[in-house]
Amino acid sequence: MPFVNIKITRDGATAEQKARLIQGVTELLRDVLGKNPATTVVVIEEVDPDNWGIGGETVTERRKRKA
Amino acid sequence: MPFVNIKITRDGATAEQKARLIQGVTELLRDVLGKNPATTVVVIEEVDPDNWGIGGETVTERRKRKA
Amino acid sequence: MPFVNIKITRDGATAEQKARLIQGVTELLRDVLGKNPATTVVVIEEVDPDNWGIGGETVTERRKRKA
Amino acid sequence: MPFVNIKITRDGATAEQKARLIQGVTELLRDVLGKNPATTVVVIEEVDPDNWGIGGETVTERRKRKA
Amino acid sequence: MPFVNIKITRDGATAEQKARLIQGVTELLRDVLGKNPATTVVVIEEVDPDNWGIGGETVTERRKRKA
Amino acid sequence: MPFVNIKITRDGATAEQKARLIQGVTELLRDVLGKNPATTVVVIEEVDPDNWGIGGETVTERRKRKA
């Protein structure tokens, strides 16, 4: 019955990678806490780099600065 | 003053259906807890079936398998 | 498969009221969007009035001011 | 290490405005609580006015009614 | 830079189990998407069974019924 | 109408500090985006250091290691 929300920047994660994340988190919750995979929900949110900030700046700015 | 966040898979919910959800949840909070509708906020998030997992697989895979 | 998160101030909602909220939201999603109740998850979070702000002040302050 | 999630209606906020929000929230957490900006994460979500409800109606309806 | 929020019912997960969850999710994001562990944040929320609903009823009711 | 959720570790933030955070974020949204303070909601969540992970370890472990 766990609910997991994963937020990442939108950077071209493939459907196959997202499927692996979902499978991996579901197995982890089963292995560590005995949670039932059938009712484990995982939602991935992909966020525009303009809308993600760390260190007080957007990821867009940070990447420009580091390029 | 309640805040409600509804996450569903993106499957063509219409503007009218979303309006009914918002109205229904707001009335429920008024009826059950006496919450003021004027400051009740409801946000609906529609999530790509590739980004929603249940039972360790994405909804996309699950639907293919069941088709 | 929907996931609903309801945030309210912690003001003594009873177990019975919370059960009614959960039932009501689940039925609403079934009636409006045809969502399966068996996999509809609803999580209620009760938040201290010191930690909830509206209009730029905490609910604690607002209530004092209005008392 | 704080995590801040800002949800607003999608109404044409510019990259520059979003950068100012991220910078401002990060500085606020440093000034008020001494939080380290390097590990402060801010995520902005822009929500369609059809998917945002207040007062029991969507923002789309509310704006039409008030126009 | 990912942010992960794990919601589970409050059922006595130990500090050691929570540490394993945090480590496991962080490694998964590194292995699948190449995300930097140093800025991966994981927040676990433990929710009272009275406040968690599935199938239209609270977990508290569901357990009583199944006992 | 914005909704802001601030998650921090539970480390003794005072009611006065939380009130300043709420006021500051609300003013920022008014100044940068013209958002109406009357309907701006801010919710602060304080999370146990055992339940917060960064760099693959809990904050509890990290602090012990650095002490």
Q: What is the pLDDT of residue F57?
A: 97
Q: What is the pLDDT of residue A66?
A: 84
Q: Write the pLDDT tens digit of every residue in D15-66.
A: 999 999 999 999 999 999 999 999 999 999 999 999 999 999 999 999 999 8
Write the single-letter amino acid at B47. Answer: V
Note the maximum CA span of chain F. Answer: 45
Q: What are phi and psi of F13, to 5 degrees?
A: -60, 135
| Domain limits for position E41 | 3-66
Is B2 one of the catalytic residues? yes
Q: What is the pLDDT of residue C66?
A: 84
Q: What is the pLDDT of residue E1?
A: 82
* Number of compact structural domains in chain C: 1
Instruction: Specify the CATH number for the domain of residue C58.
Output: 3.30.429.10
Closest C-alpha among A56, A53, A45, A57 to residue A11: A45
Which chain F residue has the Cα nearest residue B38?
F39
Check whether C67 has a pLDDT greater than 90: no
DSSP for residue E50: G
Torsion sign across C-alpha atoms D1, C8, A37, B58: negative
Do residues A11 and A45 make contact, with C-beta atoms less than 8 angstroms apart? Answer: no
List CB contacts (< 8 A) between A52 and chain E.
1
Using the structure block, give the residue that is written with the tokens 């990447």.
Answer: A63
Contact with chain B for residue A13, Cβ under 8 A: no
Q: Write the pLDDT tens digit of every residue in B9-40.
A: 999 999 999 999 999 999 999 999 999 999 99
Q: What is the pLDDT of residue A67?
A: 80
Model confidence at D2, in pLDDT bands (50, 70, 90)? Answer: very high
DSSP element (H, E) containing F44: strand F41-47
Best of D51, D61, D63, D65 to substitute, by most chain B Cβ atoms within 10 angstroms, is D51
Interface pTM, i.e. ipTM: 0.97
List CB contacts (< 8 A) between D8 and chain B.
none
Contact with chain F for residue D35, Cβ under 8 A: yes
Q: Write the pLDDT tens digit of every residue in F6-65.
A: 999 999 999 999 999 999 999 999 999 999 999 999 999 999 999 999 999 999 999 999
Check whether C1 has a pLDDT greater than 90: no
Cβ pair B8:C2 closer than 8 A: yes
Model confidence at F67, in pLDDT bands (50, 70, 90)? Answer: confident
Q: What is the pLDDT of residue B1?
A: 82
Using the structure block, give the residue that is written with the tokens 């146990």.
Answer: F48
The strand pairing partners of C57, in sequence order, are: C54
List CB contacts (< 8 A) between B51 and chain A.
18, 43-46
Q: How many CA atoms lie within 13 A of B59 on its CB side?
A: 17
Do residues A39 and E33 make contact, with C-beta atoms less than 8 angstroms apart? Answer: no
Distance CA D2, CA D27 (A): 12
Instruction: Work out the angle at residue D62's Cα, subtended by the Cα atoms of residues D56 and D63, and round it to the nearest 5 degrees.
Output: 160
User: D2, D21, D30, D44: which one is catalytic?
Assistant: D2
User: C1, C2, C19, C27: which one is catalytic?
Assistant: C2
